[in-house]
């Protein structure tokens, strides 16, 4: 290899030489290779520190002419610093490609002949659809693009800041709006670090269900689980759900650039004595705003698969879509949510989310699944995956109807009303001996539920299930159930 390279190097163009060197290096250092997509961990929580670019300094310059023998001020203002903008993109899957610190670019300085400095370029951070923004530190961000504020540059004037507060409050629930409304003065006059946290802290705010405080205590250690290792073991006070990015193209200005400093022309004009007394002073640019955000991904799938560990959810996802989640004969093979797309012949498509299995007491932090329920919070429908074989023969599991009860209980504990979402039951492992009888019993006990017997491994009953899911998503009212309806 060495000989070949040496003999080729002199006659290869430089770019080819670089490519050959790169390939040699990549072969040697296999550790640096990126893991294939299905093996990579999904990063669904991320701490992001953002800072707007500093404004450029103003310029002090004088133009001498026949009429202004002492020179007239002609220094231009500095340019505005660049902002940091979150952009919602359908091409991004999670936060694994983000950097923890993002700063807007500095504005250019002003020039003579009253020329204004160039504006610093904005930094666009692309985030996945379904990103929820929590504010750990900093001022409330403004909204841009497809939402209400037309122009990010308008951030600077006070009036727009006020609008920004109104816009954002519409995205929050009622109590949070009231809280912000009453604290709006504080937010606008003192647009500094910690303002929003102080504002929210002074009101004990709870969400519309009354059971989850909107100001959460985030333990940084929780965020260090493999994805975020930039901080210490601090307890952060977080203003929850400050904004949500739910459709591609939506933008949110999270840190605005500082205004540029005034040049001596503007300062002299300010005095109203430009000709008489040209100013020799100019101003430095202002720093941009800063914020520490916690980004949380709440996946927006059409259908959520819920089930006990080992019920066969991942196998099922692989059978109905082209997703390739990890499957194992042990509980908790699934450690992170998987998303699959079910495509029909007429190109109708629906997305299905598979989350780690839920066990009894999940709401008391047992198992893994409870932490991931936020990924099915926004699904239109649920599919309960029940294991028909879990209590058969020597298996020491629980019966499918008890699995169903447990799942509903845990869902209700997570969010009141979640278990009433349009749903169907997938009775998996119908291939096992004795599963038919269990299925009949299940049908008897859950008469109002649509039950689809399938064998996920052999892909039997999959087509009927796919159409069942489609009907559910197309017209959810068909199969909406309540807990009272379910019980015999
Ligand atoms: N006999 C039979 N076994 C199945 C079927 N579907 C899945 N399994 C097996 O059940 C075991 C668990 O399957 P998974 O798809 O990993 O189950 P899961 O619900 O995703 O499990 P967690 O990751 O723990 O949540 C694997 O050994 C599968 O081969 C089925 O239809 N019939």
- The tens-digit pLDDT sequence of the chain (488 residues) is 443 443 334 444 444 444 443 443 444 444 444 444 444 566 778 889 999 999 999 998 888 777 777 778 888 899 999 999 999 888 887 888 899 999 999 999 999 888 999 999 999 999 988 888 888 877 655 554 443 333 333 333 333 333 333 333 333 333 333 333 333 333 333 333 333 433 333 333 333 443 333 334 444 433 333 333 334 333 445 666 678 888 888 888 889 899 999 888 887 665 555 455 566 788 899 999 888 888 888 877 889 898 888 888 889 998 998 777 767 666 666 666 778 888 888 888 888 888 877 777 776 767 666 667 777 777 888 999 999 988 887 777 889 999 999 888 888 888 888 888 889 999 999 998 888 999 999 999 998 889 999 999 999 999 999 999 998 888 655 554 544 444 43
Q: Quick one: pLDDT at residue 145? A: 45
Give this complex's ipTM. Answer: 0.97
Q: Quick one: pLDDT at residue 474? A: 80
- Quote the ligand 1 centre to 399 CA distance (angstroms): 16
Nearest CA to ligand 1 atom 30: 429
Task: Tell me how far apart the alpha carbons of residues 317 and 300 are, in angstroms, rounded to a whole number.
Answer: 16
May I ask the CATH architecture of the domain 42-297?
Distorted Sandwich (2.70)
Cβ atoms < 10 Å from Cβ of 467? 12
Q: Quick one: pLDDT at residue 9? A: 40
Is-same-fold flag (42-297; 303-486)?
no
Ordered by start, the domain boundaries in the chain are: 2-32, 42-297, 303-486
Which one of 38, 315, 386 would you pick to mutate in the ligand 1 pocket, going by the greatest count of ligand atoms within 8 A of its CB? 315
- The tokens for 417 are 């009303």
Nearest CA to ligand 1 atom 14: 312
Q: Ligand 1 pocket, 309 CB below 6 A?
A: yes
Q: Quick one: pLDDT at residue 239? A: 66
- Quote the ligand 1 centre to 312 CA distance (angstroms): 3
Q: Quick one: pLDDT at residue 35? A: 44
- Quote the ligand 1 centre to 43 CA distance (angstroms): 24
Q: Ligand 1 pocket, 429 CB below 6 A?
A: yes
- Quote the ligand 1 centre to 207 CA distance (angstroms): 37
Q: Ligand 1 pocket, 311 CB below 6 A?
A: yes
CATH topology of domain 303-486: Rossmann fold (3.40.50)
Task: Tell me how far apart the alpha carbons of residues 472 and 463 are, in angstroms, rounded to a whole number.
Answer: 14
Q: Classify residue 351 as left (phi > 0), alpha (psi -120 to 50) or beta.
A: beta
Task: Tell me how far apart the alpha carbons of residues 140 and 432 are, in angstroms, rounded to a whole number.
Answer: 56
- The secondary structure element, H or E, covering residue 75 is none
Nearest CA to ligand 1 atom 8: 312
Nearest CA to ligand 1 atom 10: 312
- Quote the ligand 1 centre to 437 CA distance (angstroms): 20
Which among 451, 457, 415 is positioned nearest to 432, based on CA atoms?
A: 457
Q: Ligand 1 pocket, 403 CB below 6 A?
A: no
Q: Ligand 1 pocket, 335 CB below 6 A?
A: no
E strand segments, 5-162: 45-51, 62-63, 72-73, 84-89, 101-103, 123-128, 131-138, 142-145
């Amino acid at each position: 290899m060495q000989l070949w390279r040496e003999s080729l190097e002199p006659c290869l163009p430089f770019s080819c030489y670089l490519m050959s060197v790169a390939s040699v290096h990549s072969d040697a250092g296999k550790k640096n290779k990126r893991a294939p997509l299905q093996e990579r961990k999904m990063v669904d929580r991320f701490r992001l520190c953002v800072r707007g670019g500093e404004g450029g300094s103003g310029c002090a310059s004088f133009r001498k002419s026949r009429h202004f023998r002492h020179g007239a001020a002609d220094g231009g203002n500095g340019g505005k610093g660049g902002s940091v903008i979150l952009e919602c993109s359908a091409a991004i899957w999670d936060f694994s490609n983000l950097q923890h610190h993002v700063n807007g670019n500095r504005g250019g300085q002003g020039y003579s002949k009253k020329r204004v400095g160039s504006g610093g370029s904005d930094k666009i951070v692309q985030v996945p659809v379904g990103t929820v923004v929590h504010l750990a530190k900093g001022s409330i961000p403004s909204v841009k693009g497809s939402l209400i504020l037309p122009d990010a540059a308008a951030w600077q004037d006070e009036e727009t800041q006020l609008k920004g507060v109104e816009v954002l409050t519409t995205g929050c629930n009622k109590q949070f709006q009231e809280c912000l409304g009453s604290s709006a003065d504080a937010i606008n006059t003192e647009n500094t670090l910690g303002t929003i946290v102080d504002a929210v802290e002074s009101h004990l705010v709870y969400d519309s269900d009354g059971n989850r405080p909107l100001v959460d205590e985030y333990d940084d250690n929780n965020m260090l689980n493999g994805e975020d290792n930039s901080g210490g073991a601090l307890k952060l006070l977080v203003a929850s759900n400050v904004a949500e990015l739910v459709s591609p193209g939506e933008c949110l200005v999270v840190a605005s650039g500082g205004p540029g400093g005034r040049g001596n022309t503007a300062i002299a004009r300010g005095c109203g004595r430009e000709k008489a007394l040209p100013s020799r002073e100019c101003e430095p640019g202002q720093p941009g705003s800063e914020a520490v955000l916690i980004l949380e991904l709440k996946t927006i799938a059409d259908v959520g698969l819920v089930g006990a560990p080992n019920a066969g959810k991942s196998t099922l996802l692989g059978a109905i879509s082209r997703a390739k989640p990890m499957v194992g004969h042990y509980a908790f093979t699934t450690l992170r949510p998987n998303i699959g797309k079910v495509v029909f012949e007429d190109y109708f498509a629906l997305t299905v989310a598979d989350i780690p299995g839920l066990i009894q007491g999940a709401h008391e932090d047992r198992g893994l699944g409870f932490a991931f329920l936020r990924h099915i919070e926004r699904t239109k429908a649920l599919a309960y995956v029940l294991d028909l074989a879990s209590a058969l023969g020597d298996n020491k599991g629980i019966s499918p109807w008890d699995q169903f009860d447990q799942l509903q209980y845990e869902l209700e504990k997570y969010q009141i009303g979640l278990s009433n979402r349009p749903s169907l039951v997938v009775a998996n492992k119908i291939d096992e001996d004795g599963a038919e009888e269990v299925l009949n019993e299940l049908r008897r006990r859950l008469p109002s539920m649509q039950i689809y017997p399938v064998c996920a491994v052999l892909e039997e009953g999959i087509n009927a299930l796919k159409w069942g899911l489609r009907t559910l998503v197309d017209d959810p009212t068909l199969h909406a159930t309540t807990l009272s309806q379910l019980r015999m």
